[in-house]
Amino acid sequence: MDNLVTSNIRQRPTRTLLSVAGVALGVVLIVLNTGLVEGMLNDRIRRERGVGAEIRFGRSGAMLSPSSSNPVDVRYGDQLMKIEGVKLVSPVGYYIQSGNSGLGMEIVEGVEFDSYSTITGAKIVEGRAPQTDQEVMIDEFKALHNKLSVGSDIQVFGETKKVAGIYSPQVGSRIKMPLSALQSALSADGKCFEILVKVTDPDKQDDVRKRILDKLPGNEVLLTRDIGVGVGREIPGIKGFVRAVLVLSVIVSALVILLAMYTTITERTREIGILKSLGASKGFIIGVIEKEALTISLIGVLVGLVISMIAAWVLERATTLQLEFTWSWILRAGLIGLGAGALGALYPAIRAANKDAVQALSYE
Amino acid sequence: MDAILKTENLVMTYRVGKVDVNALRGVNLSVGRGEFVSIMGPSGCGKSTMLHILGGLLKPTSGKVIVDGEDMADMTDAQRTDTRRRKIGFVFQRFNLFPTLTAEGNLQLAEQIHGKGKKIVDEETRREVLRLLRLENKMRHKPLELSGGEQQRVAIARAIINRPAIILADEPTGNLDSENSEIVLEMLQKLNRELNQTIVMITHNPEAAAVAARTVHMRDGMIVGEE
Ligand SMILES: Nc1ncnc2c1ncn2[C@@H]1O[C@H](COP(=O)(O)OP(=O)(O)OP(=O)(O)O)[C@@H](O)[C@H]1O
Ligand SMILES: [Mg+2]
């Protein structure tokens, strides 16, 4: 029977190739998308946790989903400075634009460079800090991957700006501009997204947080170390997106296998009649077709994984996208590919098993 | 003689739209163990229908079909399939080999189905069958690389390899030239004599019928004579 399975697979190379491609596509969809979500999330969490401020102060409910609304009055900064244990503050504004590679989204931060640099340790390594509203600075990673250098053009707010400087290390977003320029571009004078708070004694950050909450109630006060542990992983819409990708790839893989096996069993009607004349049970016939579908699906899964790895390699070099593959998603993608293949083959297999033996034998 | 196959008042009516086609109208046939019976009759007289019922591919409208002690007319589809697996070997006019498999692969598939995955055919029977059919050197070939006569010999080997109680052959020489027909008939006769294999063979050719010890004549869905 295994012989029958493999000989059938080899006999129809085009059909086999198409089915393999269908399953591989499903696997690529899952692995690349979850890899991107995982990679971008972790990358952003790493950069957010590296800002050097133990506490971030913002508007309730707004802080975990970055948006271009800047609801916080920068004058909260002065009030924060008066609270015991606060060493330094620095307001940060947000503008969200679609990524310049066309993929994903990109955050542009507006910062007051002196205070920001003191808290985060970000230093200009090339050029100088941006001074006008026509200038921005970028981190070295972006400079490297987008092949940008001091003096390069860059799109922000749909306008062409100049890269004035490159800073290091990577903290927060990858593009920064003067806060005042961001405010005027968004007509949000005196506003920001959040205020970074550096404390005098990191061991007492919990106490400082409580004091801030007491003095300035109604605001959100997050500890940077909590970002990415539970709360920070909840980017709105991500779960739905991942689920949609899963459903889509199951449908694609199952449908391709369904169509492939369906045409196959029609072509092989007489062979099914022969199996029946030899005394093969329905279970045996279903088994033959399922084995064939599973073998094709397995090849599709392997091909899909290889393509995903290559695509990830290319994407990471050509864009600032970061991908992280986890074993659990690779495993799930594999099981989904096999499961969808088995599912897609089920209907054709049952139809084959239920064919009338005499009619099948006289099929031309 | 000990009957290995027996039908009692076998009736088969096909329904085509609103019309009933009486393919078999009460057939009583008895075949003894080790017998070689040929069946002759004009086209459309019900020969294939009877053979399909004897092999459990069709369920008769009424009557009994007793194969090696089991009444197949009473059985469910799955039970008939199982009886077929254990007791019947089919040979068809169109050879019906799997084109993607070698001769060896075709035999193995039949053995696998028969043994439900286990290998239960003993090597000696296998060698004997291949020797009688002169197939020892053909086992690595695919059907398209074999002549019609050779393909039919592989099909016969496949039918007999599991040593079924009965071989049912529907015009096994119908697609062969006279030379190959002769070889195939001669081999069927050898299998019958040397392995005591029971064979029921449909044929249109009187010369072919002559190799069988007994010929049954059919007409209009009934047996009308024997010689
Ligand atoms: N599936 C079917 N549906 C309806 N009628 C059928 C069916 N199969 C056979 N018949 C009819 O039953 C009768 C007997 O057919 P059968 O095939 O048994 O004849 P046969 O003796 O084998 O003929 P031939 O020598 O041409 O092979 C014919 O009239 C045929 O038209
Ligand atoms: Mg016929």
CA distance linking residue A36 with residue A312, whole number of Å: 9
% of chain A with per-residue pLDDT over 70 = 94
B11 vs B122, higher pLDDT: B11
**Which atom in ligand 1 lies closest to the alpha carbon of residue B24?**
14
Cis peptide before A169 (omega within 30 of 0): yes
**Ligand 1 mean position, distance from CA B28 (Å):** 19
Beta strand pairing status for B214-219 and B166-170? Answer: unpaired
- Ligand 1 pocket, residue B224 CB under 6 Å: no
pLDDT one-digit tens code per residue, B165-178: 999 999 999 999 99
pLDDT one-digit tens code per residue, B105-120: 999 999 999 988 777 7
Residue corresponding to tokens 């069709």: B58
pLDDT for residue A212 is more than 70: yes
Task: Flag if A276 and B101 touch (Cβ within 8 Å).
Answer: no
CA distance linking residue A277 with residue B75, whole number of Å: 16
pLDDT-derived band at A43, boundaries 50, 70, 90: confident
Task: Check: pTM over 0.90? Answer yes or no.
Answer: no
Q: What is the mean pLDDT of chain B?
A: 93
CA distance linking residue B174 with residue B170, whole number of Å: 9
According to DSSP, residue A52 is labeled S
pLDDT one-digit tens code per residue, A140-185: 999 988 889 999 999 898 899 999 999 999 999 999 999 999 999 9
A282: closest CA of chain B, how far (Å): 8
Q: Which residue numbers of B have CB closer than 8 Å to A's CBs?
A: 52, 55, 57-58, 78, 81-82, 84-86, 88, 90, 92, 96-98, 100-101, 105, 108-110, 112-114, 117, 158
- What's the pLDDT score for residue A235? 57
pLDDT one-digit tens code per residue, B22-36: 999 999 999 999 999
Nearest by CB to residue B100, choosing from A7, A281, A284, is: A7
Please report residues of B whose CB lies closer than 8 A to that of A274. 96-98
**Ligand 2 mean position, distance from CA B203 (Å):** 9
What is the total residue count of chain A? 364
- What's the pLDDT score for residue A243? 86
Looking at the 3D structure of chain B, how many domains does it have?
Answer: 1
A280: closest CA of chain B, how far (Å): 6
Strand order in the sheet with B214-219: B88-91, B166-170, B198-202, B36-40, B214-219, B222-226
**Which atom in ligand 1 lies closest to the alpha carbon of residue B42?**
25
Which residue segment(s) compose the domain that B20 sits in? Answer: 3-226
The answer, for A361 touching chain B at a CB cutoff of 8 Å, is yes
Please report residues of A whose CB lies closer than 8 A to that of B57. 276-277, 357-358, 361
Q: What is the mean pLDDT of chain A?
A: 89
pLDDT-derived band at A233, boundaries 50, 70, 90: low
**Which atom in ligand 1 lies closest to the alpha carbon of residue A358?**
1
User: Ligand 1 atom 5: the closest Cα is on which residue?
Assistant: B14
- What's the pLDDT score for residue A103? 57
Please report residues of A whose CB lies closer than 8 A to that of B110. 278
pLDDT-derived band at A1, boundaries 50, 70, 90: very low
- At CA B172, angle to CA B166 and CA B178, rounded to 5? 140
**Which atom in ligand 1 lies closest to the alpha carbon of residue B218?**
21
Nearest by CB to residue B100, choosing from A11, A282, A357, is: A11
ipTM for the whole predicted complex goes beyond 0.90: yes
pLDDT one-digit tens code per residue, A58-92: 988 777 677 788 999 999 999 999 999 999 999 99
For helices B148-160 and B123-132, what crossing angle results, to 10°?
150
Contact A324, A236 (CB under 8 A): no
The answer, for A275 touching chain B at a CB cutoff of 8 Å, is yes
Residue corresponding to tokens 């679609």: A98
- What's the pLDDT score for residue A237? 66
Contact B49, B10 (CB under 8 A): no
- Ligand 1 pocket, residue B46 CB under 6 Å: yes
pLDDT one-digit tens code per residue, B71-91: 999 999 999 999 999 999 999
pLDDT for residue A11 is more than 90: no
CATH number (domain holding residue B30)? 3.40.50.300
